Amino acid sequence: MRGGYISHLEGKNFARTGFKALRVGIHSCLFQQKAIANRTRHPGVWLGHAHAPSWESFARHLAFRKTKGSYRPQKSGNIGLAQVLDMLEAEGESGLKALFTEVCLARPDLLATLAEHNMLVTREMPSIP
């Protein structure tokens, strides 16, 4: 998994709208069908993304993400998350649950490890069904 994430690493957009020929996408903006060149990162701006907030949510979205979403096979041909998911799925639900628990579940040991490496960002957020 690239970067240790179960999803992709591409960021999200904040863009000024109202320009003709501007296409605002989730991960990129195009102006006159070309990638915008004057983009920048904004340190200190955090965007929360609940990609797999529960086992039920992960399982419910799995088929779509494997065919049209962030779990598709890599174009490079390298072994990636898509192939790992295929192998785990062949073992049955227990393999997929083990992956979810290891990578997505906010377990006390995982939270402590992230905090030790200054990689844990916390904010109060409303509960997600």
For tokens 């490079």, what's the residue?
76
Residue 1 has pLDDT above 70, yes or no: no
Summarize pLDDT for 108-123 with one digit per residue, the tens. 999 999 899 998 888 8
123 within some domain: no
84 within some domain: yes
Residues above pLDDT 90, as percent of the chain: 29
- Phi-psi bin for 118: left (phi > 0), alpha (psi -120 to 50), beta? left
Q: What's residue 127's pLDDT?
A: 76
Domain of residue 109, residue span: 55-116
What's the rounded Cα separation, in Å, for the pair 68 and 13? 20
Q: Which long-range contacts (CB under 8 A, 24 or more apart) does 16-22 make?
A: none
Q: Give the mean pLDDT of the chain.
A: 85
Q: What are phi and psi of 45, to 5 degrees?
A: -95, 120
Query: Any idea which of 24-28, 84-88, 112-116 has the lowest mean pLDDT?
Result: 24-28
100 within some domain: yes
Residue 116: its H or E element:
helix 108-116
What is the pTM assigned to this prediction?
0.73
Summarize pLDDT for 30-77 with one digit per residue, the tens. 888 888 888 888 888 877 778 888 999 999 999 999 998 888 887 887
111 within some domain: yes
11 within some domain: no
Q: How many domains does the chain have?
A: 1
